[in-house]
Amino acid sequence: MGKNKRKSDEQGRNKNWLLRIVLIMFGSIFVILGAAGLKNGVEWLPKFHPRTGTIGFDNSRHYIMLGVIFVLIGVVPWNWLFQRFGNPKR
């Protein structure tokens, strides 16, 4: 029984690391795009709404904030935090 639990834990960790790497990559892309927009003096980035067929605008800082959130989610060791500070035993 102990061996099966270890195998499932290792498989979960492998999937977890892949997800973390993807989140860090997407977050980095968002941060780079937002920072490049601000550096070039572009405060608002145009976007297209396919459903309504209208053009809208997004703030460059929103891309940076979203990227930072993705990077933090990918970097923070959530399993360790939940084990360390999780639900207290009653």
Is the residue at 63 inside a domain?
Answer: yes
Nearest to 74 by CA among 37, 8, 29: 29
Residues in the chain with pLDDT values less than 70? 1-15, 87-90
Is the residue at 11 inside a domain?
Answer: no
Q: What is the number of structural domains in the chain?
A: 1
Is the residue at 15 inside a domain?
Answer: no
Cα Rg of the chain, angstroms = 19
Is the residue at 58 inside a domain?
Answer: yes
Is the residue at 30 inside a domain?
Answer: yes
Per-residue pLDDT at 2:
53
CA–CA gap between residue 86 and residue 55 (Å, rounded): 45
CA–CA gap between residue 75 and residue 32 (Å, rounded): 17
Full domain range(s) for residue 59: 22-85
The answer to pTM > 0.75 is no
Is the residue at 90 inside a domain?
Answer: no
Burial status of residue 15 (CB atoms within 10 A of its CB: 0-12, 13-18, 19 or more): exposed
Per-residue pLDDT at 62:
87
Beta strands in the chain (DSSP E): 44-49, 54-59
